[in-house]
């Protein structure tokens, strides 16, 4: 499996989980949910108290509205010497409050939390808990959600189909300060978006309009001023004037130099 992290980004694809009892209520009382979340975290800490180790412990808050997924993930993490589950939540209404109280190193957060959007919660967490790293763990592949998550600044975007060992590696990398995307296609989408942004920055720096870039592209294809004028329904004089504007913006003196410069900038 190929892999990558940000800055060295790892590609990391259903997690085998332990079955647990279903929730007593589809709409838990927020106070009861808070008490239950912290109680579960305390129980897991007690279970780990016998493990004396000098290595750093990564404190995690798990948020997922599917109880089997949530509890299975908590169980998996609690079995690792370097992870400590400090709490869990099954809905989005108490996540920010819980994170402010517990100050976890990482919040593992689903996107779809009933009436709540995990990305909106992530944005609140990034503002309210700046030292906490946010990892989206989702079962849905959606380019829009991925790019939204990257734009708001989440530290990881992983799929629930990820093998357990790869998930652990990714979470450890996030704790070290790396940014992680866990699926090759997602990485391709991010790089494509980065390429678009880079080209737009170059275009803005050059001062060229989209139309001027198109004229240079036609010139690069070997079109004469007469052919360009025909395609654009202009006169040749108009084409010559616009090409002179392009030369001035690019600080070049002829068509060949203009084409070479625009290619160098990655605009065509």
DSSP 163: -
pLDDT at residue 15 is higher than 90:
no
- Position of tokens 């989206």? 136
| pLDDT, mean of residues 3-10 | 42
21 or 148, which is more confident: 148
Q: What is the overall mean pLDDT for the chain?
A: 80
* pLDDT band at residue 53 under the 50/70/90 scheme: very low
Say if strands 83-89 and 58-63 run parallel, antiparallel, or are unpaired.
parallel
Please give the pLDDT value at position 95. Answer: 92
- Rg of the Cα atoms in the chain: 26
Strand locations in the chain (E): 5-6, 58-63, 83-89, 106-109, 112-113, 116-117, 133-138, 156-159, 179-181
Which of these ranges, 75-79, 110-114, 140-144, has the smallest mean pLDDT? 140-144
Query: Which distant-in-sequence residues (6+ apart) come within 8 Å of 254 by Cβ?
Result: 247
pLDDT at residue 103 is higher than 90:
yes
List the one residue out of 120, 119, 106 whose CA is nearest residue 57. 106
| pLDDT, mean of residues 166-179 | 94
Interatomic CA distance for residues 35 and 22, integer angstroms: 18
Q: What is the pLDDT of residues 219-261, one digit of tens each?
A: 999 999 999 999 999 999 999 999 999 999 999 999 999 999 8
pLDDT at residue 75 is higher than 80:
yes
pTM of the predicted model as reported, rounded to 2 decimal places: 0.57
Tell the burial category of 249 from Cβ atoms under 10 Å away from its Cβ (0-12, 13-18, 19+): middle
* pLDDT band at residue 82 under the 50/70/90 scheme: very high
Helices (H), 63-104: 67-78, 95-102
48 or 263, which is more confident: 263
Tell me how far CA of residue 156 lies from CA of 44, 84, 121, 194, 230, in angstroms: 24, 19, 15, 17, 51
Query: Which distant-in-sequence residues (6+ apart) come within 8 Å of 96 by Cβ?
Result: 121, 124, 125, 128, 129
- Position of tokens 């990034």? 126
Domains of the chain by start residue, with CATH? 5-191 (3.40.50.2300), 207-264 (1.10.10.10)
| pLDDT, mean of residues 173-177 | 94
3-state helix, strand, coil in the chain (%, to 5): 50, 15, 35
DSSP 9: B
12 or 27, which is more confident: 27
Please give the pLDDT value at position 89. Answer: 93
> Of 5-14, 63-72, 200-209, which one has max mean pLDDT?
63-72
Interatomic CA distance for residues 188 and 194, integer angstroms: 10
Interatomic CA distance for residues 197 and 188, integer angstroms: 14
Interatomic CA distance for residues 137 and 164, integer angstroms: 12
Q: What is the pLDDT of residues 184-223, one digit of tens each?
A: 666 666 666 666 766 777 777 888 898 999 999 999 999 9
pLDDT at residue 145 is higher than 60:
yes
């Amino acid at each position: 499996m190929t892999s990558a992290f940000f800055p060295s980004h790892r590609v990391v694809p259903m997690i085998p989980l332990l079955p647990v009892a279903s929730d007593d209520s589809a709409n838990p009382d927020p106070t009861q949910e808070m008490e239950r979340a912290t109680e579960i975290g305390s129980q897991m800490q007690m279970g780990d108290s016998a493990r004396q180790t000098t290595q750093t412990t990564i404190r995690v808050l798990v948020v997922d509205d599917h109880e089997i997924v949530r509890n299975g993930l908590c169980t998996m993490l609690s079995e690792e010497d370097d992870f400590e589950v400090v709490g869990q939540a099954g809905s989005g209404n108490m996540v920010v409050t819980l994170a402010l109280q517990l100050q976890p190193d990482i919040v593992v957060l689903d996107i779809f939390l009933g009436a709540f959007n995990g990305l909106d919660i992530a944005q609140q967490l990034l503002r309210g808990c700046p030292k906490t790293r946010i990892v989206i763990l989702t079962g849905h592949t959606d380019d829009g959600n991925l790019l939204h998550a990257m734009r708001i600044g989440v530290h990881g975007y992983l799929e629930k189909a990820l093998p357990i060992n790869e998930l652990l590696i990714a979470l450890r990398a996030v704790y070290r300060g790396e940014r992680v995307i866990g699926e090759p296609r997602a990485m391709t989408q991010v790089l494509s978006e980065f390429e678009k942004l880079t080209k737009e920055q170059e275009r803005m720096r050059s001062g060229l309009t989209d139309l001027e870039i198109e004229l240079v592209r036609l010139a690069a294809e070997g079109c004469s001023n007469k052919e360009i004028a025909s395609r654009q329904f202009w006169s040749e004089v108009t084409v010559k004037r616009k090409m002179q504007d392009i030369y001035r913006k690019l600080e070049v003196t002829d068509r060949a130099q203009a084409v070479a410069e625009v290619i160098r900038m990655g605009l065509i």
